[in-house]
Structures are given as C-alpha cells and as structure tokens.
Structure 1
C-alpha cells in the first residue's frame, strides 16, 4: 500500500483508529525535522539549522518512518534522497507547515514588529551598488530583524539552501517561486574617452568587429554574454569578445576606464563613471531594454512578516525610472 492509500480509518461512532493523521498530529516536531532534511538533503545541515544534533535528527526520521510504516528517505554515507512516498509526504508536509507559519506570522503581526533572521542572496554588482548602501536604513527601521546576506552571481535553490529571499536577474526557472519585479536592466556600450580619441568610435554594432572589446563571462556557463541592440523596432544580439574577458562587472568597469577597450555594462554600474567623464557612451541610438530584475521567494514564506517588509523595502528602493538609467537620455534632457 502506498503512502497515499493510508487514509484515516473512522468508525461509525466517530472514533479515529490508529491512523497516519493521528500520529502525525501527535508529533508536529517530527514534521518540521523531516521537512528540513528534505529541503537540505542533509542530516547535518538540517541539524545545524534546527539547533539539534545529527544523530537526534536521524532518530527523529527513523521514528517517523516507523510510525507511518513507510520508508521516507534513502540514506547513504554521502547523500540523502527522498523515496516516492517521501516526496509525496514532503509535498503535503510543506502545505501543512506553510499554513502553520502563515498563521503564526499573522498572529505575530498583530502582536509585535517583524523579527527574526532573513537569509538573502543577491548578484554582486546589483547588491553592492543598489541594495547594500540602503540596508542601514532597513535595519534601523526594523532593529529586531537580522539579515544574513550573500553576494554572488550563482543561481541558488531557495528551498534546498534555506534562503528566504533572492534578487534574480532574468526569468526564474522554478515556476513555483513568487517573483516581484524591481526593474529592467539597461546596458550602455562605452569606453574611456582616451580609447575613443585614439581608435575612433563605432557607428553601428557591426563596426565593433574592428575594435578591441571586453566581454562579460557568464559564471554559470563560462560563455560570453551577448550584446543586445535595438534599432527601428528590431532587436538583435551579437556575440562579442576580445583579448580581455572577465566574469565580474566591477572589474569590467575598471578595465574599460583604464582604456582596455569597449565594454557593454549595466547602467547602474557605469552611471557614476560616465557622469564623472571617465567613460563615454557610444551607440546610444542602439540601446535596448535588458532582462528583468526581481525579488523572488518561496510561496510558503509569502506572509512571513520579516520577509514581507523586506520585499516591500526592495520594491520601494528601485523607482520606476531609476536615476542610473538617465545617462541614456540625450544630454539636453538631463
């Protein structure tokens, strides 16, 4: 009999016989332990997050399996994975725990200010330039909230890694995630004024083949990021690279400022250098709208007070027309 087949047995007088539902309700802590192991795929990581020992977590899972009469997990010395019954059980547990968390969050909202720890992951450039400078204002307003921030350009698995909120560029692959748009990236093609003085400027994107260009290396794939352009309603992309290609936008900015060549850089990264005259924009008429930037989080964290106020904070942080995009406007309009 599969896990799904083991539904509660109710007698005519309304008494519940020894059912899975009754046993589960008697030990909610076991559900919490199981869900954390299922998310992290690790007894050690789950134990650390729950403040327990690894052996205590292992024993709790074993007792739960004995009570349910099904095997929930495959265990080896190196990994933990869910059985088919374990996957079904985890899906149902997630809904149950989500409801409990949301009910607790709703109760806490009426009784106290947001509190607790938020794990946040954000891209290095956007995090450093846009989010981190504004965080002191957030923690001053919400002194009982602790932010553990990770700045990296990797793609995180929110449920598996226990991350509450991530700032994501592009379209999330996981359709279950809730995504709230912050803005769209805009890019500028630019180089130092000295570079253009010596080598001239491209008049069209096709001219870039005659110039020394600096490409951004995508950390996930090692490929070069395409340069996107738009003209007369037509959007097109070019694969551009040169003798120097980097996987960090701040370093790409410094290389362009030093005269190493032409780069395509996000406006929020390049704006200060352009205003200071360290970089000059070219191919301005070919600029196009880039990928969307969103704050993403799991559905079962939607009503957590601390996550809600942090998401609202990020949404307010980026205005509809960000100041860094104003460098794309004609100089007479700035």
Structure 2
C-alpha cells in the first residue's frame, strides 16, 4: 500500500456513504475522491464500494478492508500523536546506564527536580560497571567515565573525577603513612580490577608537573570501588577511590587521605548518546540537566 491518503479517502467515503460529503469533509473535489477510490480498487484488485444514485455502500470485500483500514489509520494516528509529544518535549521512557557508585552517590540525589520538571517522562536505569553498547542495547544515554573515542557518539562533558588515596587511622598507625608514591611498595594496596579486562587499574600521580601511573598490589582486588573503601575502613590496606565515594568516610574520620601533594587530575565523565540529525528532546534535557547540576570532583 503506497498511499495512505487513499485509505483515508476510502474510510471517509465508507463512513459518510457519499462521495460528495467525503469531498467536503476532506477539502477535496468529488472528482479527486472518485479518482482516489479507483486507484485504490485497482491496487487491491477488488471492488470496495457499491455505488447507487442515492448512496454508496461497501462490498463484502470492502467491509473487511474498511475494518482493517480503520485499525491501521488509528494506529498511525496514535503513533503520530506520540511522536508529536516526544518532539515537543521530554516524553516517554528514558533508558540510561551508569556505574553503580556514580549513580547512587552522584546522579540519583539530583533526579527529583528533573523528574518533577518532566512529569510525562519515565526513567529506567541500569546500574553496573560493565561496558555497554548503547546502539545495540537500546540505551538512550550512558554516563561514561573516561575518554570517548567512538565516532558514532556525542559526548557531553559533565566534569572530571578526583581520586583520593586513603587508609584508616588504625592501618596508618600500624604501618606508617606513605610520604611519596614509591612508599606504596611497602604497603598493602587494595587494587581495582577492571571488569572488562581483568587488569588492575594503575594509580595516577603528579610529580614535578608530570603525570604518571603506578601499578600497585596487595592482598585484595575487587571490581567495585565502594567495596575497596569498606576494606580500607576496616584497616585492611590503602585504597585509591573517587573522592565522591570516599567523602563521607573522610569527613567522619574513618579514613585519612595520604599522598595529597601528588594528586593527579582524574578522568572525564560524559553523558554519551548516539549522533543523529534529530536528537531526542528527552536526551538533550537529561544531558543539560546533569551538566548543570551534578558535582563530581569535590
């Protein structure tokens, strides 16, 4: 079926039982209505209407076709309504991925005002440390830590992480406080294991204006920074975690920052979404809101 307008003409004629009335209703001439019906009947290969001098009725095939056309046009009308709402402003379901710690501690506390501003929007969030492919997995937005090299994606910068090396007062009392990064070789360092590669993440330091990475090791490795912080609080060793994760423990004295003079800049955080000629308003709204409202580095 190539021409939906012919379907609309057919349905209106069948409803009004008159070519003239259908023409007036649709703003067309009776001749245009007649030609549209003839083209449609030629396309489907059967007669759809029975014409008399006084009225127009449906053939048996036309009655079946009429019911199906009404359903099709109704579904199209509903789809157009949903699309008009979506393009007019944030509407519908917004599917998002972000890491668990970042989501719970940074993003989720800000979402109340955003959802209040957009009551027709529903958010579905996956919290995990896995790497996702938003194109194939159907995510609208991925809150991604680190550089974004995929040319298919738009990356809206939200800020930069700040890391802190910390340990419990009890651990430092037993083992002493490291004064420079090389001192970590004598300490039990709680390393982050990258879930997608299994490799240990290097600890980044800055010294004499140069940034460098240092590989550490110890008795515990985990793929979750919050778990490493808990281990550090218990006195097991020294951890290197995002400041947003450690801030409460630092404020309460459960852990103490060390090597503060060697702190290096952290990785960027982006709201990532697919490129397209028309980016959804709900995606733009979330990216703009997060860029303006979340606090990462403190």
TM-score, length-scaled by structure 1: 0.63
The alignment status of 1:227 with 2:237, answered yes or no, reads no
CA distance in 2, matches of 1:123, 1:305: 24
- Give CA deviations for 1:130-182 in whole Å, capped at 9, x if unaligned: 01122222212211101010011111111111110010011224112000101
- Structure showing greater radius of gyration is 2
Query: 8 Å contact 2:107–2:294 — kept in the other structure?
Result: no
1:140-159 matches, cutoff 5 A:
140-159=116-135
State the match for 1:53 in structure 2: none
The alignment status of 1:241 with 2:212, answered yes or no, reads no
- Give CA deviations for 1:256-308 in whole Å, capped at 9, x if unaligned: 11101001111110111101111101000000101110000011285312111
CA distance in 2, matches of 1:245, 1:26: 63
The alignment status of 1:208 with 2:184, answered yes or no, reads yes
State the match for 1:130 in structure 2: 106
CA distance in 2, matches of 1:197, 1:315: 41
Give the gaps of 5 or more residues in structure 2. Answer: 5-78
Counterpart selection for 1:311 from 257, 269, 287: 287
CA distance in 1, matches of 2:149, 2:89: 33
1:153-192 matches, cutoff 5 A:
153-192=129-168
Task: Supply the RMSD in Å over aligned alpha carbons.
Answer: 2.2
Higher relative contact order (CA 8 A, sep 6+): 2
State the match for 1:270 in structure 2: 246
Query: 8 Å contact 1:257–1:279 — kept in the other structure?
Result: yes
State the match for 1:281 in structure 2: 257
Kindly tell me the number of residue pairs found equivalent between the two proteins.
222
Query: 8 Å contact 1:302–1:308 — kept in the other structure?
Result: no
Distance 1:154 1:301, change over 3 A: farther
Three-state SS of the structure 1 residue aligned to 2:136 is: helix
Distance 1:289 1:109, change over 3 A: same
Q: Which runs of 4+ in 1 moved over 3 A?
A: 107-110
Give the gaps of 5 or more residues in structure 1. Answer: 1-22, 28-100, 326-334
CA distance in 2, matches of 1:237, 1:307: 35
Three-state SS of the structure 2 residue aligned to 1:293 is: strand
